[in-house]
């Protein structure tokens, strides 16, 4: 994957997915909304947008986030991989509501109010946009198309295809025997830290449980062998082995239970 499109209805979470993908594959990420829109909520001309898009798609590698149906075909011709977030109207409307008031990297202002035009586009996406995309997917069979039908499926795809087996390194900020900074009664029986430069679902650096050391350390380097996916939180916890051992599900779950018992989740291998 060198030239990736992330497509889908407004509110589907294209930008969030793209940010996660960007952190894992280390390709430059471009948000089309940041190209089209200005901070005062006016936009550049179509000709200027097309010129800027042409420059982008002729680069050696990229992730391009944005639907922009008028430019579907030119972008599909240029890409090698497409992620289509096919989540449905209700999920996308909920996504729009959840992002109100939040500063985002993918658009040059903060949205505070629901845009009725945008909501109408969401309602019509299934009949207006999706058939066009499916037709183009069929027209260009050489493109790898990955259709994801829920946020859960999207997260699981990234974990199973890009996270498991990844070699990572970082810092231990809660070593064995230390207490949780907010809950001092919670003592860590395992080294716990984060991958430097790799952002997690909470917008902070990715948290990890580090297996293979019986004493406190400051830093680690190892391989991701599993992920504990919290289903009631926006954080996943990576399971890193530094001694080459492929720890069993039972060993992992027993070790991290001290903290994960407060959340619902599943271990993904």
Q: Is residue 79 pLDDT above 80, yes or no?
A: yes
Is the model's pLDDT at 234 over the cut of 90? no
Predicted confidence band of residue 14 (pLDDT cuts 50, 70, 90): very high
| pLDDT for 204 | 84
Extract the runs of DSSP E, i.e. beta strands, from 150-264.
Answer: 167-174, 191-199, 205-211, 219-230, 236-241
The full set of domains in the chain, from first to last, is 3-151 (3.40.50.300), 164-268 (3.90.80.10)
Per the listing, tokens 């994801």 go with 148
Integer Cα distance of 11 and 122 in angstroms: 8
DSSP-derived pairing of the beta strands 265-268 and 62-65: unpaired
Q: At residue 203, does pLDDT exceed 90?
A: no
Specify the DSSP element, H or E, that contains 4: strand 3-8
pLDDT band at residue 48 using 50, 70 and 90 as cut-offs: very high
The predicted structure's pLDDT at residue 227: 97
Does the model's pTM come out above 0.85?
Answer: yes
Q: What average pLDDT does the chain have?
A: 95
pLDDT value at 201 more than 80: no
80-124 confidence digits (pLDDT tens):
999 999 999 999 999 999 999 988 888 888 889 999 999 999 999
Alpha-helix residue ranges (DSSP H) falling in 26-150: 32-36, 46-57, 72-78, 89-98, 116-128, 130-139
Neighbours of 28 (CB within 10 A): 12
The predicted structure's pLDDT at residue 190: 98
Closest CA to 236 of 248, 228, 224, 226: 228
Q: In whole angstroms, what is the distance from residue 169 CA to residue 192 CA?
A: 12
Pairing of strands 219-230, 205-211: unpaired
Instruction: Tell me the C-alpha distance between 225 and 64, whole Å.
Output: 29
pLDDT tens figures, 112-156: 999 999 999 999 999 999 999 999 999 999 999 999 999 989 989
Contact, 131 vs 69, CB < 8 A? no
Work out the angle between the directed axes of helices 116-128 and 130-139 (0-180°, nearest 10). 40
Label the pairing between strands 29-31 and 62-65. Answer: parallel
- Under the banding of pLDDT at 50, 70 and 90, the label for residue 216 is very high
């Amino acid at each position: 994957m060198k030239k990736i499109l992330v497509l889908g209805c407004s509110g589907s979470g294209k930008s969030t997915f793209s940010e996660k993908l960007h952190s894992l594959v280390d390709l430059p990420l471009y948000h089309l909304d940041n190209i089209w829109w200005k901070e005062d909520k006016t936009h550049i001309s179509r000709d200027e947008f097309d010129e800027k898009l042409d420059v982008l798609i002729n680069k050696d590698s990229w992730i391009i986030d944005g639907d922009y149906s008028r430019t579907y075909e030119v972008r599909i011709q240029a890409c090698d991989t497409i992620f289509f977030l096919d989540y449905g109207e209700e999920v996308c409307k909920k996504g729009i509501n959840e992002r109100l008031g939040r500063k985002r990297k993918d658009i040059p202002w903060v949205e505070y109010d629901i845009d009725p035009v945008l909501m109408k586009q969401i309602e019509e996406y299934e009949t207006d946009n999706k058939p066009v995309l499916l037709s183009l997917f069929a027209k260009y069979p050489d493109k790898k198309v990955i259709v994801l039908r829920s946020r859960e499926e999207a997260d699981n795809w990234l974990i199973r295809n890009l996270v498991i087996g990844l070699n990572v390194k970082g810092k231990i900020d809660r070593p064995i025997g230390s207490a949780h900074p907010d809950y001092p009664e919670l003592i860590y029986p395992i080294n716990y830290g984060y991958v430097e430069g790799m952002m997690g679902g909470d917008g902070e650096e990715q948290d990890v449980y580090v297996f293979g050391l019986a004493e406190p350390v400051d830093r680690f380097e190892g391989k991701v062998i599993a992920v504990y996916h919290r289903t009631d939180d926006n954080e996943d916890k990576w399971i890193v082995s530094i001694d080459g051992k492929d720890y069993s599900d039972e060993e992992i779950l027993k070790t991290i239970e001290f903290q994960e018992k407060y959340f619902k989740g599943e271990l993904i291998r």
